[in-house]
Each structure stands twice: as C-alpha cells, then as structure tokens.
Structure 1
Amino acid sequence: MTEPTSNKPFTEQTVLITGASRGIGAAIARRFASVGMNVVIHYLQSHEAANETAREAMRYGARVLTVTADLRSVDQIERMQDKLAQHGLIPDILVNNAGISHYGLLSELSENEWDEIIGINLKGTYLMTRQFMSAMIERKYGRIINVSSVWGISGASCEVAYSTAKGGINAFTKALAKELAPSGVTVNAVAPGVVDTAMMNGFDASEKAALENDIPAGRFAQPDEIASLVYFLALPESGYITGQIISPNGGWLT
C-alpha cells in the first residue's frame, strides 16, 4: 500500500484552527501562515483578538479568514462550514484547539460549569471533527490534530472536569486514529504541560515559581513551541504518525 498524499502542495493547503484568537491557537495560526498557507481562524467572542491574529497572519502573505461559532452547536458549525465552502476553503488540516479551564474543588463545581467545560473542550472536538472529516475521507488525505493537556494523561487535583475533558480527547484521538487510518487521515493529540498563556493568569508569582521549580526544564513552554509540534504533525512526511498523544512538558511528566 502506498503512502496517502494530497493532490495539493502543502503550502496550498487549508488549515482550520479553533480557538485561534489568542494563546496557543494564535501561535498555531501564525506558524502555518508563515509558509503561506490558507488559514481559517475560529473564535467565539474575541472578535478583536481574532482580527489581530488575522492581521499578523496576513503579514506573511497568507490567505486568512476569520469565522465565529459556538462549537457546542451543530447548526453554527454547519453555517461555518458553508461559509468556508463559499470561499473555497475546505480544510485539509483541522486543529481542535478551543478549550476552557476551571480551577476549584469538584464539590464546588456546578452542573452548568461541568457541562460548559465538557461541552466546549470535548463535545466541540467531536462535533468539529465529525463535520470536517468527511471531506478528508473522500480525498483520502487529511490531518486532525487535537490540543489536549498533560492533565488529560495524569489528572490534576482541583481540575477534575478539565482533566476529564482532556482525557476524553486523548481516548477520542486514539480510537478515531484507528478508524480513519485506512482513509489516509491521521489523528494525533498534543498534550502540553504548563504554557505561558492567559490561562496562567489565575496563579500568583509564588505559585508560578513553585510550578517552574517542579519542571525539570525550569521554565514554562512558549506558545510558539507548541505550535511547532502541531505544524510538524500536519506535514505530509508525518503521515505514519497517528493515534499518538505527544506531551511537550519540559520533562515534568515522563
């Protein structure tokens, strides 16, 4: 059996990144834009931040489109897909990055908060993948990359719902990879450790210093470092890598 290949050069492919208005998602958008690819930046409410990410991406000469949708809504995802089709932007690469975190005891977590965390992180990944994988299967080529977390591997005290959602994404990744491998579509997850983004704003300086102390590399990851790994998994030459949960965490978890 020959290796599945796209009929388009890599730099002419289209990547759709959810939650790409800031942080890791924005870094991923910039990384793909840097080689001139078609980049679709999804956001929910951060309109101005998404536009700023789009402007940064366009400076590389990339074709960029911003789209908004609540990823818990099938109707909104379908409308987003229709908009992309109107612009001739059918994703060859889907990066499921959108997510929210929550810090607190499970005993104090409301049912609505649980539903929101699971809905955006896990259900959103499922709905987006289901919607966009059909075209990949038809073309016999595609890349699905899910942004998970180290807590999806080991679990974290006071982050039970978030850990549950990310653990679900890891299992989803492994199972779907087996389902789609015969169709030439790879499915992988990147599960970062601590990344220097707005998600860390809830920690004070002493808490951050204690965390850095626990990490053998002695520092937090930068968003660009995570983006480079996502980019690598999207490359045509990464076609034999599938069903993997890769955790860039500075040696924190081995």
Structure 2
Amino acid sequence: MTPLLDLYFVWDKLKLLLLCICLPYFASGTCPGDVKGQIKNCFRDYEMKIEGILTPGNSIISGVDAENIRLLCTGFKYGEACVASLKSKCLQDTAIIEAELLKLTLAEEELKLLCRDDSLYDVYARNRYCYEKSGIANEKCFRDVMNSSVRIITDLDQRSVTGFCGDVDSLLNCIGGALHAEQCSKESITQKDKLVRPLIRGSQECDKSAYTVSSQKTTPSQLQNGRQSGTKGSDGTNTADYCLANRTLILSLLVVFSLVLGFS
C-alpha cells in the first residue's frame, strides 16, 4: 500500500471514529422540542404521589403510611435529576424551565431537606400514631394560621418577610402545642418542622438568621418566589450547568485527539 493510499485509509478510519464518538454525544445532548412538556414528564410520578400526603384527615401532619413519604421522595428526586439533565441540554431555556417549576405543586428547597434524610421514614413510622391522635388539631392549626386546608402553598405574598415568617412560626408553634397536648414524644415534636415546611414554599428561609423581625417590610437576600437564586451568568443562564456542558465537550475532544495520536 502506497503512502498516499495509507493516508486515505487512516483518514477514512478517523472519520468513522469521529462519527461513532460524536454522534452519541450530540444525540444525548439534544434539547427536546417541548421543554414544558418534558418538565411535566419529569415530575409525573411525584405529582401522582403528592396527593397521598395531602388528603384531608390523612395528611403528612395527621398521619400517613411512611411508605407514602418514601415514594413521594423517590418521585421528587427523580424529577430533580431529570430537570438537571434538561437544564444541561437546554441552556438557552433556563428561564423557561425555572418558570415551569414554579407552576408545579412543589416546595423544592423544603422537599430537598425532607427527602435527603433516609432516617426520616423510620422516625415518622414510630410517631405516626401520635400524628393521627393530634391530626384534627394539626389541620385546624393549618386552617386558622394559613387560612387554607392542608396543601402545598405556593402563592403566598412573601414581600413582607416579617408577616410571612411570623405565620410560619405561628403554625409550627400551634402544631407543636397540639402534639404536646397529646403527650407526644420529643422526637415527634422536633420532627414537625421537617413535615410542615414542605407544605409552604419558601418557609425554609424562615429561620432566625434569615430574617429580622421588625415592623418594616423587608426582603431576604435570596428569597425569590420561595426559591433560592442560584449563580447566574451575564446572560441569565446557570453558570454551573454551562461549565458542565463545556467540560463534557472538552473531555470528548480529548478522547478524539488521544485516539488520533494512537493511529499515527
């Protein structure tokens, strides 16, 4: 084989190699046409299971099977991972994705804290009977303080941090009093915060270091529609997602160059 033919042979093999490596990368990194529909698909299981902890008389604060909470968290974690993948593929649609997430029955930051602790399910199962005994009083607290039946509240006016967080504190104190009246364990009373906060988007910001109690209306530094703001680039995209996509592309190119050197 002449050197010229040898060169053509290597070039043909290199083109095939590039196709095999790059095609799966671009295929897996393609942004779907219907971004909004994809977000709904991501959280489909979660939305189906959320009703299992919000049924009046059988809610997360009035006694449910601990397995319902486990399934809820499984659906939530899948939805989070699915949306993270979508963001990495659709960097130009970050604002659309964030807007759609706000439409879901979702208190994202609060659910992250609830679902990251695997011991929660056993603790809840041990204290379920106590939540059942105080259930009517717990749900009455929710109606009296939040002016709502038990559901995930996503539309409260959070511009007045003092008023918003004051209501959250009042609700927690009310439910704590109901549990104490039933002589519930300290463990069950302590756990109430983890159970109540996922029912109110933005309530995780309401610790004593996150807001100042005063008569003036103030805004917490990172409270935006109940969601913490991430680090954004100058074009409004999420910097972490953008860097992840760039790193993936660079690694793919390094693999190609390594294989090319191997041919030479």
Structure showing greater Rg: 2
* TM-score, normalised relative to structure 2: 0.26
Query: Which protein has the bigger helix share?
Result: 2
Q: Relative contact order (alpha carbons < 8 A, sep ≥ 6): 1 or 2 greater?
A: 2
TM-score w.r.t. length of structure 1? 0.27
